[in-house]
Amino acid sequence: MTDGKAMTTSANDRFDVAIVGSGIVGLGAAYAAVRRGLRVVVVDRTDRPVGATIRNFGHLCIGAQDGPARAYGEASRGIWLRLAADAGFWARESGTLVVARADDERALLEEAAQAEGEASGGIRLLSPAEVTGLAPVRPEVVRGGAHVPGDLQVNPREAAGAIVRHFAALGVEFRFRTAVTAVRTGLVQTTRGDIAAEDVVVAVNHDVDQLLPEVAERAGVVRCALDMMRVSADLPSPLQAPLLTGWSLVRYRRFAGLGTATALRERLHAERPELAALDLNQMYAQLPDGTLLLGDSHHKAVQPDPFQPEAGFDAFLTEARELFDVGGMRVLERWQGVYAAAGEEFLIEEVAPRVLALAATTGIGMTTGLGLAEIETARVFGWGASTGSATGSAEVIGAGSADADASTAVSGVQTPAIVGGAATTADVGGIAQEENA
């Protein structure tokens, strides 16, 4: 310890690593530490993960990233698969589907496929018939599409809680309903007393401006509020993977930086200014119970208004009805998610010796957070390579799934292998149909 006050804490309040925040980045840091045999405590002011980690599509969209985000995502992939197997939550190696509804959207997919060939795990272009075989979309609106391999899907509401329970069984201590008031080298001050730790990780997402305001201001961190909804939809067949549209292509960096993306963005904004005003990412994911997640809009501010305009939800429903071959559609839930946003994709700063602030400052925390925490904690703190999971499993960082060969080919595309958390009702492509009636 480097702080004298830390030495006054009791043995029960002394740890190798203290982590502030139980979201996906904080959980990733806890996993990185406990696998190295370190004594870990996670502190959070809520009684469970309730933030951005559970308010999302559960879509681990690795293949749409580039640069550091792609590296963190690839590292995250193996960790997600190992945790799904060990903690017992549902995950599927679905890849990502993209539907092209116009020639310029198809052209952008073709450019992306050429930029990274299929031999290196790149994009597989799909015919309209192949798209409709994998997604219950209206044939008349489809001009083509693509499958991006390697991406995963989880149920975020289930996964976070399962991970917490698994880590607790591995020896990680969780101190919920405990607010952190200050951090410095060797010490975390909380509303329930001080915690001494050799290494401290601050992973509080957008609330970094509450605990470390100067760091947040320097990085330009604000909040991005997004609206989403879950519906029961009468679909003729399951959605075999999370589905992106042209609005998604102009957001994700692997596509948005290509030459044909500019013209596509201009066309979308000119034709549909009301959707552009929502900062729409029109995408969909189907949960194991058969319900469909729709979204999402975006609004950035230091503190976004809590009021959710109904126009956004109306647009989600209208666009879904125009895209999918759907009968009835019934709204089950609406919600607002909030995540950190900044000019750069990640906040990585050692704010004091052995005090590391980490955040994904775009909406890709689920995709990259586990790998971000794994890589950056080891780099900053000088942790050696782990010996595998705390239960003796083989090292998982960047690893593929042991279940990959269990997938079966449909139209040349691998359909999902299911890991952990088997459904109790009959599955079709990993999706139970009972709530689609």
CA distance 233 to 404: 30
Instruction: Identify whether residues 110 and 159 lie together within a single domain.
Output: no
Nearest to 199 by CA among 188, 210, 212: 188
Q: Is-cis flag, bond preceding 207, omega within 30?
A: no
Instruction: Give the pLDDT score at 131.
Output: 98
CA distance 135 to 415: 12
Q: Are strands 40-43 and 124-126 parallel, antiparallel or unpaired?
A: unpaired
- Locate tokens 């401006």: which residue? 209
Flag whether 428 is in a domain: no
Domain encompassing residue 106: 96-149+222-341
Average pLDDT over residues 268-289: 97
Flag whether 388 is in a domain: yes
pLDDT digits (tens, 9 = 90+) for 203-234: 999 999 999 999 999 999 999 999 999 999 99
Q: Is the pLDDT of residue 68 over 50?
A: yes
CA distance 340 to 226: 11
In this prediction, residue 117 has a pLDDT band, given cuts at 50, 70 and 90, of low
% of the chain at pLDDT higher than 90: 82
- Domain with residue 21: its CATH number is 3.50.50.60
Instruction: Identify whether residues 213 and 337 lie together within a single domain.
Output: no
Instruction: Identify whether residues 215 and 235 lie together within a single domain.
Output: no
Average model confidence (pLDDT) across the chain: 88
Q: Is the pLDDT of residue 412 over 90?
A: no
Average pLDDT over residues 56-83: 97
- Locate tokens 């539907």: which residue? 99
Q: Is the pLDDT of residue 80 over 80?
A: yes
pLDDT digits (tens, 9 = 90+) for 359-397: 999 999 999 999 999 999 999 999 987 755 443 333 434
In this prediction, residue 121 has a pLDDT band, given cuts at 50, 70 and 90, of low
Q: Is the pLDDT of residue 200 over 60?
A: yes
Instruction: Give the pLDDT score at 427.
Output: 29
pLDDT-wise least confident of 1-15, 257-271, 289-303, 406-420: 406-420
* Number of separate domains in the chain: 2
Q: Is the pLDDT of residue 62 over 80?
A: yes
Instruction: Give the pLDDT score at 175.
Output: 98
Flag whether 298 is in a domain: yes
Instruction: Identify whether residues 239 and 353 lie together within a single domain.
Output: no
In this prediction, residue 11 has a pLDDT band, given cuts at 50, 70 and 90, of confident
Average pLDDT over residues 75-79: 98
Q: Is the pLDDT of residue 143 over 70?
A: yes
Q: How many Cα atoms sit within 13 Å of 266 on the Cβ side?
A: 5
Bridge partner residues of 409 (DSSP)? 414
Q: Is the pLDDT of residue 189 over 70?
A: yes
Element (H, E) at 180: strand 180-184
In this prediction, residue 434 has a pLDDT band, given cuts at 50, 70 and 90, of very low
Instruction: Give the pLDDT score at 132.
Output: 98
Q: Is the pLDDT of residue 435 over 80?
A: no
Flag whether 416 is in a domain: no
- To the nearest 10 degrees (0 to 180), the angle between helices 261-271 and 103-115 is 160
Bridge partner residues of 301 (DSSP)? 223
Instruction: Give the pLDDT score at 390.
Output: 44
Instruction: Identify whether residues 143 and 178 lie together within a single domain.
Output: no
Structural tokens at position 226: 């997004």
Instruction: Identify whether residues 333 and 349 lie together within a single domain.
Output: no
Instruction: Identify whether residues 157 and 30 lie together within a single domain.
Output: yes
CA distance 79 to 32: 10
Instruction: Identify whether residues 214 and 226 lie together within a single domain.
Output: no
Q: Is the pLDDT of residue 320 over 80?
A: yes
Instruction: Give the pLDDT score at 129.
Output: 98
Instruction: Identify whether residues 78 and 205 lie together within a single domain.
Output: yes
In this prediction, residue 156 has a pLDDT band, given cuts at 50, 70 and 90, of very high
Flag whether 257 is in a domain: yes
Identify which has the larger pLDDT, 422 or 180. Answer: 180
Instruction: Identify whether residues 130 and 268 lie together within a single domain.
Output: yes
% of the chain at pLDDT higher than 70: 85
Instruction: Give the pLDDT score at 426.
Output: 27
Which pTM does this prediction carry? Answer: 0.88
Q: Is the pLDDT of residue 118 over 80?
A: no
Q: Is the pLDDT of residue 4 over 70?
A: no
Flag whether 254 is in a domain: yes
